[in-house]
């Protein structure tokens, strides 16, 4: 479709016509998952319970009453899943390692059988010509560490560095990139303050303490990764999004600034500038975290990359987040706003002189997909992915150093507090038979990558 007046393609038409050749040479395209969301096999080969096993067992925590105990049974079906990944034609696969498989007691002895699984995955990917990208912490903390306060306990940061060293020592340079943490906002604020994720407490001071210890864990783990895997890239993954004011009323502008401080700058500034944002520090008052001398120097460790997970923007009024009139939303109720990805990239580039190269480590959408015979028609997901890739390309062409893009997710999986009710996959999963079926969006991605 073209605009007949000017003959320039509309953004949607330009997006639909995109192929990987429009992106810079070497740009990495992949798909992503995480351990608890797909593996299952919760009690096998020495894995101990994680905080998510505990959380899912508490009535009312998960909307469909489910858990990740079986999930996509990927722990047993990994070979066929790797074949599927290879068939998509992606360059890379981002997965996470379950800490309770590798160090079941949280701290102390390493369980070789746990590492064996991730070594099989790593070698299986390499054998298929797919780069392995590892995330060390995608929220499945060993439950025994939660008994000692979880991330509110400073010792957890040291335990994380030891566990990270064990993984990097085994997988070494075979892994293309190691990300220490996935989305520390979620594993602190959403988990300890909002209470929607494990461990489900509601305490702002606890959340800020957890966030600080997560960042400290990143700072402590980075040198361990570099020591054991000097040729791999090492960095961190944040969930970020523009937090825009709902109007130009001063109270809305103030609320948007505060939201930006809590959501974006609270993590970006310590990592990239070595300081917490002064305005937000003042906003949180007595709930500010216990920072010890030297912590910020550790946290400001150089990263080879910054992973960014982008799903939506926030539109913020004095009363909280609002949905702009006429907004289209995904099945999560999140506004679909590709321009936010361009805006976010440009803002990071402008505000952080030390910004490392960026990978979009997650982007995608849930829709209520239904199977019709052997097909799953999900045109809205294809449109979501292509318009966001187009938005990313705009930022790349404007000079932001963006090196790759991972679609969330390879396949439908356990979507945390929503259980199996939200489908983010490019591949459909029938949870009764564990059958996998490429959705139309997967066929589109395959064609885009050809
Ligand atoms: C992100 C998480 C990922 C998935 C998507 C939808 O916050 O990193 O595990 O749940 O959201």
pLDDT tens-digit readout, 296-350 = 999 999 999 999 999 999 999 999 999 999 999 999 999 999 999 999 999 999 9
Secondary structure class of 430 (helix, strand, coil): strand
Write the CA distances from 221 to 218, 230, 301, 356, integer angstroms.
5, 13, 10, 18
Residue 443 falls within a domain, yes or no? Answer: yes
Q: Is 183 in the pocket of ligand 1 (CB under 6 A)?
A: yes
Q: Between helices 379-397 and 440-449, what is the axis angle to 10°?
A: 30
- Asked if residue 2 belongs to a domain, the reply is no
Q: Is 37 annotated as a binding residue?
A: yes
Is there an atom of ligand 1 within 6 Å of 362 CB?
Answer: yes
Confidence of residue 422 (pLDDT cuts 50, 70, 90): very high
- Tallying the residues shown for the chain, one arrives at 450
Is residue 67 scored above 80 in pLDDT? Answer: yes
Looking from the CA of residue 416, the nearest atom of ligand 1 is: 10
Question: Rounded to whole angstroms, how far apart are CA atoms 68 and 112?
Answer: 22
Q: Quickly state the pLDDT bin for 1 (edges 50, 70, 90).
A: very low
Give the closest residue to 303 by CA, choosing from 209, 237, 213, 379: 237
pLDDT tens-digit readout, 316-329 = 999 999 999 999 99
- Is 354 annotated for ligand binding? no
Give me the CATH number covering residue 411. 3.20.20.80
Q: What are the CA-CA distances from residue 292 to residues 163, 212, 215, 296 (Å)?
A: 22, 10, 13, 8
Contact 437, 374 (CB under 8 A): yes
Give distance in angstroms: CA of 38 to centre of ligand 1. Answer: 12
Q: Convert the pLDDT of each residue in 151-194 to its tens digit.
A: 999 999 999 999 999 999 999 999 999 999 999 999 999 999 99
Q: Ligand 1 centre and the CA of 34: distance in Å?
A: 9
Cβ-Cβ contacts under 8 Å for 112 (sequence gap 6 or more): none
Q: What's the pLDDT at 218?
A: 99
Q: Which atom of ligand 1 is nearest to the CA of 422?
A: 6
Report pLDDT digits (tens) over 367-377.
999 999 999 99
Query: Which strand (E) or helix (H) includes residue 385?
Result: helix 379-397
Q: Is residue 50 situated within a structural domain?
A: yes
CA 302-307-308 angle, to 5 degrees, is 130
CA 280–ligand 1 middle distance (angstroms): 25
62 inside domain:
yes
Which residue range forms the structural domain that includes residue 347? Answer: 8-449
- Rounded to whole angstroms, the Cα distance separating 233 from 133 reads 9
In 377-434, which ranges are E strands? 402-408, 427-430
CA angle, 141 then 132 then 229, to 5°: 80
The tens digit of pLDDT for each residue in 231-248 reads 999 999 999 999 999 999
Ligand 1 within 6 A of CB of 408: yes
Evaluate: CB of 310 within 6 angstroms of ligand 1.
no
311 is in an annotated binding site: yes
Alpha helices for 128-203 (secondary structure H): 143-146, 155-171, 184-185
Do the domain assignments include residue 361? yes
| CB 186 near ligand 1, within 6 Å | yes
> 1 lies in a domain?
no
Distance CA 77, CA 42 (A): 14
For residue 292, being part of any structural domain is answered with yes
Residues 112-133 have pLDDT tens digits of 999 999 999 999 999 999 999 9
Dist CA 225 CA 133 (whole Å): 13
Cβ(95) to ligand 1 under 6 A? no
Whether 97 contacts 59, CB under 8 Å: no
Cα of 20 vs centre of ligand 1, distance in Å, is 24
Distance CA 77, CA 446 (A): 22
Ligand 1 pocket mutation pick from 309, 365, 414 by most atoms within 8 angstroms of CB: 309
Residue 97 bridge partners (DSSP)? none
Distance CA 221, CA 45 (A): 25
Residue from 134, 71, 181 nearest 415 by CA:
71
Catalytic residue ranges: 183, 362
Confidence of residue 8 (pLDDT cuts 50, 70, 90): confident
pLDDT above 90 for 10: no
Average pLDDT, the chain: 97
Nearest residue (CA) to ligand 1, atom 10:
415
CA 370 to ligand 1 center in whole angstroms: 21
Beta bridge partners of 402: 358
pLDDT of res. 5: 56
Q: Is the peptide bond before 43 cis (omega within 30 degrees of 0)?
A: no
- Count up the domains in the chain and report the number: 1
CA 328–ligand 1 middle distance (angstroms): 20
pLDDT at 411: 99
Residue 417 domain-assigned (yes or no): yes
416 Cβ inside 6 Å of ligand 1:
yes
User: Is a pLDDT exceeding 70 seen at residue 364?
Assistant: yes
The pTM of this model reads 0.97
**Residue 78, annotated as binding a ligand:** no
C-beta 137 within 6 A of ligand 1: no
Instruction: For residues 202-231, give the mean pLDDT.
Output: 99
């Amino acid at each position: 479709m073209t605009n007949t007046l000017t003959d320039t393609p509309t953004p949607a038409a330009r997006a639909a016509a995109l192929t990987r050749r429009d992106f810079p040479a070497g740009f990495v395209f992949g798909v992503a998952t995480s351990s608890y969301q797909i593996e299952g096999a919760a009690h096998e080969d020495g894995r101990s319970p994680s905080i998510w096993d505990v959380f899912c067992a508490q009535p009312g925590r998960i909307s469909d009453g489910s858990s990740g105990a079986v999930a996509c049974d990927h722990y047993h079906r990994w070979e066929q899943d790797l074949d599927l990944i290879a068939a998509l034609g992606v360059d890379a696969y981002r997965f996470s390692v379950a800490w309770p498989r590798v160090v079941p007691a949280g701290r102390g002895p390493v369980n070789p059988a746990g590492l064996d699984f991730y070594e099989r995955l790593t070698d299986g990917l390499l054998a298929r010509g797919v780069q392995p990208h590892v995330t060390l912490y995608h929220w499945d903390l060993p439950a025994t560490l939660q008994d000692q306060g979880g991330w509110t306990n400073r010792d957890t940061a040291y335990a994380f560095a030891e566990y990270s060293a064990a993984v990097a020592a085994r997988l070494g340079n075979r892994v293309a990139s190691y990300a220490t943490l996935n989305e520390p906002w979620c594993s602190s604020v959403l988990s300890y303050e909002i209470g929607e994720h494990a461990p489900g407490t509601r305490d702002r001071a606890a959340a800020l303490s957890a966030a600080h210890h997560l960042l400290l864990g990143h700072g402590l783990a980075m040198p361990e990764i570099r020591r054991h895997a000097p040729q791999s890239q090492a960095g961190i993954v944040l969930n970020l999004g523009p937090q825009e004011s709902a109007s130009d009323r001063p109270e809305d502008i103030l609320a948007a600034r505060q939201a930006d401080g809590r959501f974006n700058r609270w993590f970006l500034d310590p990592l990239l500038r070595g300081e917490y944002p002064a305005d937000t520090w003042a906003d949180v008052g007595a709930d500010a975290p216990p920072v010890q001398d030297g912590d910020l120097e550790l946290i400001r460790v150089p990263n080879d990359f910054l992973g960014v997970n982008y799903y939506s923007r926030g539109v913020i009024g004095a009363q909280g987040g609002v949905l702009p009139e006429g907004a289209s939303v995904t099945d999560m109720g999140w506004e679909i706003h590709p321009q936010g990805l361009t805006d976010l990239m440009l803002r990071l580039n402008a505000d952080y002189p030390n910004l490392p190269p960026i990978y979009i480590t997650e982007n995608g959408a849930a829709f209520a997909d239904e199977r019709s015979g052997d097909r799953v028609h999900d045109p809205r997901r294809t449109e979501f992915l292509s318009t966001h890739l187009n938005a990313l390309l705009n930022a790349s062409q404007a000079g932001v150093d963006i090196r790759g893009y991972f679609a969330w997710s390879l396949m439908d999986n356990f979507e945390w507090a929503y259980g199996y009710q939200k489908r983010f996959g490019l591949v459909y999963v029938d949870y009764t038979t564990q059958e996998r079926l490429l959705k139309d969006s997967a066929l589109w991605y395959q064609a885009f990558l050809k």
